[in-house]
Amino acid sequence: MNYKLISKILGYILIIETAFMAPSLLLSLVDRDGSYNGFIIPMAISLVLGLILINLNTKKKSLSPRDGILIVTASWILVSLVGAIPLFISAHMTYIDSFFEIVSGFTTTGATVISGIESYPRSVIFWRSITHWIGGMGILVFTVGLLPKLGVGGFQIFKAESPGPVAGKIESTISQSSKRLYIIYIILSAALFICLKIAGMPVFDSLVHTFGVLGTGGFSSYNDSFMSYPGNAVHFILALFMFLSATNFTIYALITRKKYKEILQNDELKLWIIITLGAITLITIDLFSKGYPSLLLAFRDSAFQVTSISSTSGFANADYDIWPSFSKFILLILMIFGGCAGSTGGGIKVTRISILLKLIKREMKKATHPKAVIPVITDGKVLSDEVVLGINAYLGTYFVIALISTGIVTLSGVDLITGFSSVATTLSNVGPGFGKIGPTKNFAFYSDFFKIYFSGLMLLGRLEFFTILALFTRSRHRKDIIKL
């Protein structure tokens, strides 16, 4: 283990977090809301510690896969521990609640323990939302973009943090890939902000919701999210950008290169569009046929909630917990599926569902042709056995953790629907669920133990299990787990 280089990189991450806190401190000073100490203290801590760490002498410049995994795991925990301090000091929350809230922010989950967010200082609301934007693309992807000297070691970080079964470069180097991803991210963010402003949303609220949508997070500056927001324009704009944010960012890189043939061959994109349009259509019909005021309103709310849940953003423009059972069933499935690999969305990822369907089709063919050699092909390429094994292992791990965790959570006394959706929504990084954690409720009633437990599930979901689990395995098994 290259502990000095690991510590040095963690130092850079702390300094980057300090820089991201600065706008909230500035807003606090402008508003004179008295919350500036909540930012000065953690900024001072992270800056001093960061400067000490980055000045460590490191002779060995390369990173092993395990080094990369340790950096990823440690950095997400570290930025959450420091990032919770502003809420603890300025919002007068318990540290456990603050930690839960900020882990939810960085992992772009959007689960909350806060009621009456409008009464909080704008600087605190702003910091809470910035964590979505940072966590959406990943603070480590940002770090790798600024540290081209990492070389091969940079790929270990990039691969460990990138969401999806196949992490690859979209440029000749990982540093260039990181920079291109952030350029796309910033362009989409600017486009959404402009659209929201044109639609009449105030500047502050436009920024908050831009951070939440592009990071597929879900924290809003409104206590009821968008349930009472007037008009249709903002609802449809957010629905469109939630869909775009949960689409594989490689698609946008291919568009800039005019590689339209590769885009048309992308199986994940095709299935993603089919799932989204299919779910919107079915829920619209279900709502309208069961008494919704108008077809347009049914379509609007359906489009918003489908893109919100499937992208794992977690915003709400209606209390879907009182919708018909069929519509809620579709939303629950979307909650588990999530968005695309290589996006800011959470969940299992559509590409895994696509490959799983191909595997089922192959096994059905092999039932009648047992000696046939039938490869699994996606995007016109044959998948290796290693990738297929990794997908099967991931799906198995997801459901095992979900089932065990549901059993543990029900010990708190909640009903089965609340227990399962609490696990599913934190593990898939969605935010709100059903029952006692529906869109009009939150996680505040859970004890500190379960808030910490859910924080762990959010981190496991964001880092896709194996990044963390590989740290706790014996060395002879670790390489196999890392490949998954």
Binding-site annotation: residue ranges for K(+): 108-109, 217, 312, 429-430
Q: Is 458:450 a contact under the CB 8 Å cutoff?
A: no
Binding residue numbers: 108-109, 217, 312, 429-430
Q: What whole-number distance in Å separates Cα of residue 424 and Cα of residue 130?
A: 24
CB within 8 Å of 273: residues ≥ 6 apart: none
Q: Is 108:215 a contact under the CB 8 Å cutoff?
A: yes
String of b and e for 107-132 (b: at least 16 CB within 10 Å)? bbbbbbbbeebeebbbbbbbbbbbbb
Give, as one character, the DSSP assignment of residue 383: P
What tokens appear for 330 in the block? 């579709």
Measure Cα distances from 274 to 77, 91, 337, 350, 377 in Å: 36, 43, 13, 11, 19
Quickly count: other Cβ atoms within 10 Å of residue 456's Cβ.
15
Quickly count: other Cβ atoms within 10 Å of residue 248's Cβ.
23
Q: What whole-number distance in Å separates Cα of residue 459 and Cα of residue 419?
A: 18
